[in-house]
Amino acid sequence: MSPLPFDPLLLAIAAPLAVALAIALGLPKRFSVKLAYVGFALPALLALHCWYYFPADAADGYAFVTQYGTGLSALGISLKLGLNGIALPLFVMAGIVGLAAGLYAIQSGAERLKLYLMLLLIMQGGLMGVFASIDVFFFYFFHELALIPTFIMVGIWGGRDRNYAAMKLTIYLTLGAMLSLAGLIAIYVQSGANSFDLIELRRALGEAPLALSLQKYLFGLLLFGFGILVSLWPFHTWAPLGYGAAPSSVAMMHAGVLKKFGLYGFIQIALPLLPQGAPSWTPLLAWLALGNIVIIGLVTIAQRDLKQMVGYASVMHVGYGLLGVACLSVLGAGGVVLFMVAHGLTVALLFMLTTSIYHRTGTFDMQEMGGLAQKAPVLAAFFLTAMLASIGLPGPGLLNFWGELAIFMAVYAHAGWMVVPAVLGVVISAIYGLRAVGSVFYGQPTENFLAHQQKHPVTDLRWNERIPALILLVTLIALGIWPRSISDPINATLSAFYPAIEAVATRITP
Amino acid sequence: MTPVQNALALLFLPLATALVTALFFRRQPAVGRALSLVAAAGIVLLGGRLIFFTENFTIAAEWLSLGPLTIKLGILVDDLTKLMLFVVAFIGFLIHVFSIGYMKGEAHAARFFGCLSLFMFSMIGLTLADDLIMLFIFWELVGLSSFLLINFYYDRPAAVLASKKAFIVNRIGDFGFLLGIILAYWAFDTITLVDIAARLDTSPDLVATSIALLIFCGAVGKSGQFPLHVWLPDAMEGPTPVSALIHAATMVAAGIFLLCRVGVIMTGDALTVILWTGVVTALFAGVTAFGQRDIKRILAYSTISQLGFMVAAYALGSLVALRNGADQALAGVTAGAAAAMFHLTTHAFFKALLFLGAGSVIHASHHEQDIYRLGGLWKKMPITFATFTLGTLALAGAPFFSGFFSKDAILLLAWQYQPVVFGLLLFGALLTAFYMTRLWSAAFLGAPRSDGAEHAHESPASMTVPLVLLSIGAVLAGYGWFYPSALAVVPTAALALLQGEGHTLVAVAGSAAFVFGAGLGLLFYRPGATGDFLQQRLPALYHVMAERFYIDALYDWYVAKVQQRFAMLLNFLEQILLAGLIVRGFAGLVGLLGLGARALHTGSLNAYVYWFLLGLVILWAGVAGVFNLQ
């Protein structure tokens, strides 16, 4: 199916890791940077390649399947790679966001740039691996591979409160990851498949499902494990703090891609493997997700720090994803996948532009800015577009809108009135979104900002900042205009996976 | 060119020029202006071809499919589309021409014209939509264009506030609209309007009423109905051509268009709510207009009031039909839709004319907008004065002018429905004549009362020619023969109403309302007065009206004192309770277990093992039934 003479998935994972290794082995700086371009670009190009050649009728729903021995076959672990309709859009998104984050990092002029790029490349390899793995062990392994550089980079290159933020991030995310791992291992042990291969696990559990009570416990474990990783309310406090402190490329890759691990885990693993365990947890999940949307939405309104605000906004929007998962349906889960792609691209763009704003204002405090559009109209246009996309305005945010619409449709079908607070998020996000745009770009600059401008003249967005922004924005808009390019594979895969779930799903609200 | 290609070219031409301007000609006002004008002219040609040489058609394609959800987007061209398209294309073009003169010397004119093209794209998309989702998408896009144009002068705090207010208030309406779409999909299993009409009787009445009212919420926001009208007067912060095109003639009328589009899902209960919303809006805004001194704000309240008339007309027609036992769902263009769209069309002409006239005045008098600081312009700006007078007569409902006929149709429906509603709307018509005479007399008659007015002179031809052309429409658009046959369906249906029961009485009453209103206006607001009559005699009442009955203040209070404080409180809890207590509590717990935060921070293997053990303990506890789930 793939016209390439090699495995595109393995290369997409290995290329950034290999570049990272080369840099670690002492490549001179100028070669390092050049090679880093390759390391970030190859995964994106290969992902686009896979997308283009993705067949409509893949066996087991997977395409580009390859398997590599690991010497751990006694434990049922092998590096099995492949993409199905759910993984494909996220794999593409990971490639695109990674490329944009990489380009932004290269032009950032960070201290110890080589180390920074090396860690980012490791992260990128991990991100590609998460979505390309059919083997659950490697799914988890690649997540950790991407997560550990996150902690280190926040600790070294972070902004204000970086040590506290790094510690908190580590505690929460490790706890979340551990709970998830415990759940995944338990599934492996109990399934009797003697394999971490997701296809095998699904087959084994389809023939002999786990006992109902066990399914419930395991789902609960995964719920909190994945939930913490996705910043489910009230386990979300690591996110705004962590993103507030994280260097921009790290925030882009974590908030944009890595954080999707939890939602992806729900849709790809937890729901198909534990269908009967889910319904007893979904009311709780839905209520907590409303906490994300409404409570965190209102908290977002109260933020003064631009980067924290973007962090809170991302926590709020994740609530839509969790709500979609709670619907236990093809429509809900499909909406979540669309939404994850949209959210990943949008939030990455927002974090990136936030840093670009910081470089021009010298502060993240929105009340100390103002009037930036007069000096930087292109930056203003990009930020406004990104913010409108993030609040789901059809147009720039058409893909976000499709995702939200599918989720809302599912919520009404499965949870009735809960759709009302969920849609209320549309108003809440308009309030904080426009407030941010207004106070940063419109009106007149504050005195402090004017004084800052005297010392550091403001320039508009430079081309090496525009290019990563354009990569994200063009992808987002193109997918929004023609959502079927990803929704058709999503629909095909989910329709094959989810009959068992939809059969047992119950309404969330009476 | 096939009809579909024609429609697509019509839709995407303005988007293309907007994009080209944004990407390549940001700093060249001349190029931006030329491109935008080309787009506007192209819209007239392509739109004309679609209106006059194309049969009605509909076409759709599947856009998204997930599980049971299938969304098809497409184009619907019918009589309603054609009339709306005519208004948008024709008035849009004239306003583009007017803008050439008005925006002369503006450094950011390229951005202005780019946004204007973006607006045309959005509005045409809205007009062509065959389904609720496509309507919603372009509905939001017109909101975006409106936002961008209101804060065109984005260094002015007032413009920024106004644009935010417009966007957020509209989003409140859209909140209901979106919920309505979701309910409609599950009730009818489709979002395509034609299919909804076919599947109508499957829906229970309560759900149908909810759907109708929720979708109406969208119209309440966009068409400035009470209580979401607050954004529209503030939107006058945008350049005046924008006020004419978007905030008077086309976008704000989109709510009426929406109602007519979804007419099939209306129920009696919903229509009653809609009727009273329209009546209250018409009267409330009419009264508020007396408390305003800014020429554009007066016109803005007048627009709100006229939109109230349209909304009421829409509801009245269907209510009358329902009472007469007609199956209104299946009639092509219902009486209510015809009356509403007819008034929309005549209003688009005379209100665009009035706003452009106001723009001409503002342009000439160096941005003087207070009517009591104008005056004497009848001599200095004869063309503007003459055309503005025609527009005023049309709006005030002077017999034989366009507004008279379209208002007459509404009053007649009200008369047939209920005397109380008729009386209220008649009073509304009287108010219209009254406050418009006040505006006209203060701004144009008497002697100049400011330097700006003193030195005013007639605007250039690019501004006066559109005024003259629009005034032709303002005078004649009430006659059936004004419309070519391709556009005549709706006006003919509305004019047919005028043959209905009680037509003589209603026509006489409508004329009397004009005479009394205008007479009172001349009596109380003498030409040349330097202050407001009401302000001098009844300052307390005037103050309440000037403060817009404190509704804006109420919203401001809510935003600042309730919403913001609640958000701050939640934020406080968030920061203190969660970030402080719980996390440090976790860290403390970790310390107790002998792990230590430092070990975690390094991500060392030991810590992972411990965490893994902890996970296993929790798992074991779970399996052993410690947590005891149901």
Asked if residues B92 and B103 have their Cβ atoms less than 8 Å apart, the reply is no
Among B66, B574, B629, the residue with its CB nearest the CB of A487 is B66
Tell me the torsion sign for CA atoms B330, B332, B334, B340: positive
Residue that is written with structure tokens 């051509």 in the block: B241
In the prediction, which pLDDT does B605 show? 43
B482 vs B67: CA distance, rounded Å: 50
pLDDT band, residue A486 (cuts 50/70/90) = very high
Tell me the torsion sign for CA atoms B425, B426, B430, B433: positive
Read off the pTM.
0.91
In terms of CA atoms, which chain A residue is nearest residue B621?
A217
Report the mean per-residue pLDDT for chain A.
89
Q: Which residue of A288, A301, A369 to mutate against B (max B Cβ within 10 Å)?
A: A301
Per-residue model confidence as pLDDT tens digits over A276-291: 888 889 889 999 999 9
Mean pLDDT computed over B359-384: 88
Cα torsion through B136, B142, B146, B147, rounded to 10: 50
Token digits of residue B393: 């007569």
A459 touches chain B (CB under 8 A): no
- The end-to-end CA distance of chain A, in Å, is 48
Among B26, B71, B614, the residue with its CB nearest the CB of A178 is B614
Among B185, B574, B600, the residue with its CB nearest the CB of A409 is B185
In the prediction, which pLDDT does B325 show? 66
Residues facing residue B70 across a β-bridge: B65
Q: Which of A306, A164, A318, A128 is nearest to A228 (CA)?
A: A318
Asked if residues B66 and A490 have their Cβ atoms less than 8 Å apart, the reply is yes
Residues of B in contact with A494 (CB under 8 A): 66-67
Residues of A in contact with B161 (CB under 8 A): 438
Residues of B in contact with A295 (CB under 8 A): 570, 574
A324 vs A424: CA distance, rounded Å: 16
Residue that is written with structure tokens 């208002």 in the block: B407
A47 vs A130: CA distance, rounded Å: 13
A314 vs A231: CA distance, rounded Å: 9
A283 vs A415: CA distance, rounded Å: 9
Residues of A in contact with B611 (CB under 8 A): 174-175, 178
A284 touches chain B (CB under 8 A): no
Mean pLDDT computed over A8-30: 89
Residues of A in contact with B582 (CB under 8 A): 234, 237
CA distance B129 to chain A (A): 14
A254 touches chain B (CB under 8 A): no
In the prediction, which pLDDT does A59 show? 60
Token digits of residue B229: 């009208």
Which residues lie closer than 8 Å to B615 by C-beta, 6 or more apart? A178, A179, A181, A182, A221
Asked if residues A206 and A194 have their Cβ atoms less than 8 Å apart, the reply is no
Among A167, A427, A444, the residue with its CB nearest the CB of B597 is A167
B422 vs B316: CA distance, rounded Å: 10
DSSP A446: -
Other CB atoms within a 10 A radius of the CB of residue B419 amount to 9
Asked if residues B429 and B334 have their Cβ atoms less than 8 Å apart, the reply is no
Report the mean per-residue pLDDT for chain B.
86
In the prediction, which pLDDT does A497 show? 85
Asked if residues A381 and A353 have their Cβ atoms less than 8 Å apart, the reply is no
Other CB atoms within a 10 A radius of the CB of residue B608 amount to 17
- Is the confidence at residue B584, as pLDDT, over 70? no
Give the number of A-B residue pairs with CB atoms closer than 8 Å.
202
In the prediction, which pLDDT does B593 show? 43
- The end-to-end CA distance of chain B, in Å, is 66
Per-residue model confidence as pLDDT tens digits over A362-403: 888 888 888 888 889 999 999 999 999 999 898 888 999 999
Report how far apart, in Å, the C-alpha atoms of B568 and of each of A306, A315, B135, B239, B449 are. 16, 17, 36, 36, 48
- Is the confidence at residue B344, as pLDDT, over 90? yes
A260 vs A230: CA distance, rounded Å: 7
A3-7, A146-150, A335-339, B224-228: least confidently modelled range? A3-7
CA distance A371 to chain B (A): 6
Tell me phi and psi for residue B626, to 5 degrees.
-65, -40
CA distance B571 to chain A (A): 5
Residue that is written with structure tokens 């599918």 in the block: A406
Asked if residues A171 and B600 have their Cβ atoms less than 8 Å apart, the reply is yes
In the prediction, which pLDDT does B222 show? 93
- Contact call for A409 and B69, based on CB within 8 A: yes
Report how far apart, in Å, the C-alpha atoms of B530 and of each of B89, B388, B520 are. 40, 21, 18
Helix boundaries (H) for A362-498: 372-375, 377-390, 398-415, 419-441, 447-455, 463-481, 484-497
- What percentage of residues in chain B have a pLDDT greater than 70? 89
Tell me the torsion sign for CA atoms B143, B145, B146, B148: positive
pLDDT band, residue B609 (cuts 50/70/90) = very low
Asked if residues A450 and A313 have their Cβ atoms less than 8 Å apart, the reply is no
Residues facing residue A369 across a β-bridge: none
In the prediction, which pLDDT does B602 show? 46
CA distance B240 to chain A (A): 20
- Is the confidence at residue B595, as pLDDT, over 60? no
Asked if residues B219 and B256 have their Cβ atoms less than 8 Å apart, the reply is yes
Among B567, B623, B627, the residue with its CB nearest the CB of A299 is B567
Provide the pairing of β-strand B57-66 with B69-77. Answer: antiparallel
What is the maximum span of chain A, computed from C-alpha positions, in angstroms? 71
- Contact call for B175 and A427, based on CB within 8 A: yes
- Contact call for B574 and A299, based on CB within 8 A: yes
Q: Tell me, rounded to whole angstroms, the distance of Cα A269 from its chain centroid.
A: 17
Mean pLDDT computed over A180-188: 89
**DSSP E strands, A230-340:** none
Token digits of residue A344: 């990943």
B474 vs B85: CA distance, rounded Å: 18
- Contact call for B182 and A237, based on CB within 8 A: no
Per-residue model confidence as pLDDT tens digits over B302-337: 999 999 999 999 998 888 877 776 654 444 568 888
Q: Tell me, rounded to whole angstroms, the distance of Cα B518 from its chain centroid.
A: 28
